[in-house]
């Protein structure tokens, strides 16, 4: 008997990141970026390069981690076994990073769209390159995060005896 008064407990498993959720987050962030820039253009500073560098470095790190994790989860020859808790942490990192990349990429896209459509104003020389690089870095982070999330999936095991045969061959 369950001691939960609202009924049976929900399945605690984590679901894959929804592309539609990332698109909605990016669209909302783009709208916020557009509105902020349109209302506060004169006071708005040029976008800094530091977030672009950090996001690009995180994308590279997650790409390397995804490649390593995939080999370890699939038990490729020469790859060390991976701890299940580490894989769970990587999956959470991947989900958070993909959402953060969508938000930052959407924000930068909103700024770029504002710059492209409002050509009557003069823009800082640093604004366009940093904003375009922000979109590129965010897309790289989203791709690496989704790859890392996919790498954390446990391969299908149809027959437990097949797993024993594979481990004996390696």
95 falls within a domain: yes
| Cα–Cα distance list, 94 to 16, 21, 59, 127 (Å) | 10, 14, 10, 29
60 falls within a domain: yes
20 falls within a domain: no
Highest average pLDDT, of 4-18, 105-119, 134-148, comes from 134-148
105 falls within a domain: yes
Both tokens of residue 154?
């446990």
Residue 122 reports pLDDT greater than 60: yes
163 falls within a domain: no
Q: Compute the distance between CA of residue 164 and CA of residue 170 in angstroms, rounded to an integer.
A: 10
Higher pLDDT, 166 or 23: 23
pTM of the model: 0.80
Mean pLDDT of 102-123: 84
As for how many domains the chain has, the answer is 1
142 falls within a domain: yes
Instruction: Give the model's confidence band at 6: pLDDT under 50 very low, under 70 low, under 90 confident, else very high.
Output: low
pLDDT in tens, 10-31: 666 778 889 999 999 999 999 9
Residue 1 reports pLDDT greater than 70: no
pLDDT in tens, 37-80: 888 877 777 788 999 999 999 999 999 999 988 888 877 777 78
Nearest CA among 87, 90, 105 for reference residue 142: 105
112 falls within a domain: yes
Which residue range is the domain that position 75 belongs to?
46-154
């Amino acid at each position: 008997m369950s001691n939960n008064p609202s009924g049976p407990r929900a399945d605690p498993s984590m679901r894959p990141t929804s592309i539609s959720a990332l698109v909605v987050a990016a669209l909302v962030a783009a709208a916020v970026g557009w509105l902020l820039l349109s209302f506060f253009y004169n006071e708005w500073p040029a976008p800094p390069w530091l977030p672009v560098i950090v996001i690009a470095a995180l994308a590279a790190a997650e790409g390397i981690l995804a490649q390593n994790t995939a080999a370890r989860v699939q038990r490729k020859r020469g790859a060390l076994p991976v701890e299940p808790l580490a894989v769970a942490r990587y999956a959470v990192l991947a989900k958070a990073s993909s959402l953060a990349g969508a938000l930052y990429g959407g924000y930068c896209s909103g700024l770029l769209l504002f710059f492209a459509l409002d050509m009557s104003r003069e823009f800082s020389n640093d604004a366009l390159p940093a904003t375009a690089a922000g979109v590129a870095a965010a897309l790289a982070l989203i791709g690496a995060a989704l790859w890392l999330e996919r790498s954390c999936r446990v391969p299908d095991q149809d027959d437990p005896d097949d797993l024993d045969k594979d481990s004996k061959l390696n």
